[in-house]
C-alpha cells in the first residue's frame, strides 16, 4: 500500500520540480530579452545591399532609449515586397523600420501600412527624382536613403572605333547603330521578364515625352496612356535592338549582371546599368580587370529615345519607411531620420557604391575621393532629372501587365503599345486575368 501510494507522490514532486525549473529558465530568458531594463528594440528590415554598412548605421543610430537591429529581406524585389506586405497586412507590431523599393511606397501607403513622416524629411536638398518617390496623396511616407540611377556605360575604344561622339547626347538609334557597325560589339540592357524590363520601357516612354499611365493616384480608374507616339517610339527602340546584330544572345533573359562580362570581352559593349557598375569594374584579382581596361571604361547620360528630347534616366534606390503598426512609432520615425542622414548616405556611397539622395551628401569630400568628378556630376544630374515609374496602389499589376505583353523583346513591334494598353485597361478593370 505504502509503496504504491508513494510512487505517485514522488512523481508529482518530480513534476513540480521540473515545472519550477522550466519556469525559472523561461523567466530568465524573458528577462534577458528585455535587456537593459526593457529598452525597446526596433527591427529594421533591410534589403541585401550594403549590409555591412547598414549594420554599422544601425549601431550608430541606436540610442540610450532604443536599439536598432537589422533583419535581412530576400534578394529579389518581388520577394521583399511580399514578405513585408505579409507582415504589414497582418498588422505586425515588430515591423518598425523597413527598406522600401521606391515603387512600393504608394502601394504600402495606400494600404495604410506606413506611418506618415514629418514634412521636413524631404527638403530642397533632396534630389528631385528620388524626392518624388516618397510622396503619396500629398503626404510623405518614407525618407530616401539612397538614390540609384542608370547611365550609359561603354568602352571608349569601342565608341571611337564606331565613330560615335560621346561628348554630345546620344540616342538609342545611334548607340545600336554604332554597336552594330563593329563586329562582336553589343548593347547590354535588362530585358528579362521582370521589373527591370519595365524600368527600361518606362524610361524609353518618358524619354519620348509620354507616360505608361497618368492620373495614377486614381487607382483602377487611372488613364492608360502607353498607346501613344511615345509608346511607339519606345517599341521601335526595343524592336530595333532585338533585331540588330548588337543584341546580346541572352537578351530575353538579360539582367543587371548578365551584361557585365561583355564590357571587356571582344570589342566591348554599350550598356545601360545602375551606378554599382563603376565599383564592380574596379581592377582586382577576382574580376581580372586591368588598370588599362578600367581606363577604357566610359560613361554618359542615359540615351535619348528621340533626338530632340532629353532622356529621363530611370530612378531607383531605397526609401526607409516606418510600419504603421509598430509599438514604437515615434522612436522609429526618429531612427529613420538618423538612418538616412548625410553620414549614412556618404558611407553607403563610398563603401557600397549606393549613391546619395541629397545634394549635401554628394558634396562630401569622401565621395570626391572615391569617384571621378564628372561621374559624380552625371549620377547627381541623372537622379535629379530622372523619371519615376508610375505611382499607383496597383503598381504590381501594372508592371506585370506590361511585362506580359512586351516580353519577349523580339516580339515587340509597333502594335505592342496598343495591345498592352488594351490589356492593361482590362486588367485594371478586373476583366482579364494576369
Partner 1 sequence: MSSTYVATPEVDAGKTPPAGSDRSRAEGRLAAKLVAPAVIVMLVVTAFPILRALWLSFYSYSLTAPDDREFVGLSNYITALTDSLFWRDIGVTVLYMLVTVAIELVIGFIFAMVMHRVIFARGVIRTSILIPYGIITVVSGFAWQFAFTYQNGFVNGWLPFIDEQFNWFGDTTPAVIAIMVSEIWKTTPFMSLLLLAGLAQVSEDMIEAAKVDGATWWQRLWKVILPNMRAAIMVAVLFRALDAYRIFDNIYVMTAGAVGTESISFLTYRQTIEQFQLGMGSALAVLLFLSVLLVAFLIVKLFRVDLAQARGE
Q: Which residues of this chain interact with partner 1, rule CB under 8 A?
A: 78, 82, 85, 89, 107-108, 110-112, 193, 219-220, 253, 393-394, 396-397, 400, 430-434
User: Min. distance of Cβ 200 from partner 1 in angstroms?
Assistant: 18
Neighbours of 409 (CB within 10 A): 22
**Cβ 66 vs Cβ 41: under 8 Å:** yes
User: Min. distance of Cβ 208 from partner 1 in angstroms?
Assistant: 28
Whichever of 108 and 299 has its CB closer to partner 1, that residue is: 108
User: Min. distance of Cβ 85 from partner 1 in angstroms?
Assistant: 7
Cβ partners under 8 Å of residue 388, min gap 6: 102, 129, 132, 133, 315
Whichever of 107 and 115 has its CB closer to partner 1, that residue is: 107
Pairwise CA distance, residues 104 & 100, whole Å? 6
Whichever of 106 and 210 has its CB closer to partner 1, that residue is: 106
Whichever of 376 and 401 has its CB closer to partner 1, that residue is: 401
User: Min. distance of Cβ 220 from partner 1 in angstroms?
Assistant: 6
Whichever of 194 and 200 has its CB closer to partner 1, that residue is: 194
User: Min. distance of Cβ 430 from partner 1 in angstroms?
Assistant: 5
User: Min. distance of Cβ 221 from partner 1 in angstroms?
Assistant: 9
Pairwise CA distance, residues 242 & 327, whole Å? 51
Cβ partners under 8 Å of residue 110, min gap 6: 136, 137, 219, 393
User: Min. distance of Cβ 141 from partner 1 in angstroms?
Assistant: 13
DSSP β-bridge partners for residue 208: none
Pairwise CA distance, residues 37 & 39, whole Å? 6
Whichever of 114 and 152 has its CB closer to partner 1, that residue is: 114
Which H/E stretch holds residue 17? Answer: helix 2-33
Cα atoms found within 13 Å of the Cα of residue 412, Cβ hemisphere only: 29
User: Min. distance of Cβ 176 from partner 1 in angstroms?
Assistant: 24
Sign of the alpha-carbon dihedral angle for 317, 156, 244, 288: negative
Pairwise CA distance, residues 256 & 190, whole Å? 6
Pairwise CA distance, residues 202 & 120, whole Å? 30
Task: Name which of 73, 71, 91, 90 is nearest 81 in CA terms.
Answer: 73
Amino acid at each position: 500500500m505504502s509503496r504504491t501510494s508513494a510512487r505517485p507522490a514522488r512523481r508529482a514532486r518530480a513534476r513540480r520540480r521540473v515545472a519550477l525549473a522550466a519556469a525559472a529558465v523561461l523567466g530568465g530568458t524573458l528577462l534577458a530579452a528585455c535587456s537593459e531594463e526593457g529598452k525597446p528594440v526596433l527591427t529594421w528590415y533591410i534589403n541585401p545591399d550594403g549590409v555591412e554598412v547598414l549594420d554599422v548605421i544601425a549601431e550608430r543610430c541606436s540610442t540610450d532609449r532604443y536599439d536598432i537591429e537589422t533583419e535581412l529581406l530576400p534578394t529579389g524585389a518581388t520577394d521583399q515586397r511580399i514578405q513585408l506586405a505579409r507582415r504589414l497586412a497582418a498588422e505586425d507590431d515588430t515591423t518598425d523600420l523597413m527598406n522600401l523599393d521606391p515603387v512600393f511606397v504608394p502601394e504600402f501607403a495606400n494600404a495604410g501600412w506606413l506611418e506618415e513622416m514629418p514634412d521636413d524629411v524631404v527638403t530642397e536638398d533632396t534630389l528631385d527624382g528620388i524626392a518624388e518617390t516618397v510622396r503619396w496623396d500629398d503626404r510623405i511616407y518614407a525618407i530616401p536613403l539612397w538614390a540609384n540611377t542608370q547611365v550609359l556605360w561603354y568602352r571608349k575604344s569601342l565608341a571611337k572605333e564606331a565613330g560615335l561622339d560621346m561628348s554630345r547626347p546620344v540616342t538609342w538609334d545611334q548607340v545600336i547603330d554604332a554597336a552594330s557597325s563593329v563586329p562582336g560589339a553589343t548593347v547590354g540592357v535588362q530585358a528579362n521578364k521582370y521589373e527591370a524590363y519595365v524600368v527600361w520601357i518606362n524610361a524609353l516612354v518618358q524619354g519620348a515625352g509620354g507616360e505608361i499611365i497618368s492620373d495614377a493616384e486614381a487607382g483602377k480608374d487611372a488613364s492608360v496612356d502607353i498607346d501613344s507616339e511615345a509608346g511607339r517610339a519606345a517599341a521601335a527602340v526595343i524592336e530595333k535592338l532585338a533585331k540588330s546584330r548588337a543584341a546580346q544572345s541572352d537578351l530575353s533573359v538579360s539582367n543587371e549582371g548578365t551584361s557585365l562580362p561583355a564590357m571587356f570581352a571582344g570589342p566591348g559593349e554599350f550598356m545601360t546599368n545602375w551606378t554599382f557598375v563603376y565599383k564592380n569594374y574596379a581592377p582586382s584579382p577576382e574580376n581580372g580587370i586591368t588598370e588599362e581596361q578600367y581606363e577604357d571604361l566610359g560613361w554618359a547620360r542615359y540615351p535619348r529615345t528621340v533626338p530632340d528630347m532629353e532622356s529621363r534616366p530611370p530612378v531607383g534606390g531605397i526609401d526607409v519607411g516606418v510600419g504603421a503598426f509598430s509599438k514604437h512609432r515615434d522612436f522609429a520615425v526618429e531612427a529613420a531620420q538618423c538612418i538616412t542622414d548625410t553620414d549614412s548616405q556618404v558611407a553607403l556611397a563610398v563603401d557600397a557604391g549606393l549613391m546619395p539622395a541629397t545634394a549635401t551628401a554628394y558634396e562630401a569630400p569622401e565621395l570626391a575621393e572615391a569617384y571621378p568628378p564628372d561621374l559624380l556630376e552625371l549620377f547627381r544630374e541623372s537622379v535629379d532629372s530622372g523619371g519615376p515609374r508610375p505611382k499607383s496602389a496597383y503598381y504590381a499589376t501594372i508592371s506585370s501587365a506590361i511585362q506580359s505583353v512586351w516580353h519577349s523583346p523580339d516580339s515587340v513591334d509597333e502594335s505592342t503599345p496598343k495591345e498592352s494598353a488594351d490589356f492593361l485597361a482590362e486588367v485594371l478593370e478586373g476583366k482579364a486575368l494576369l
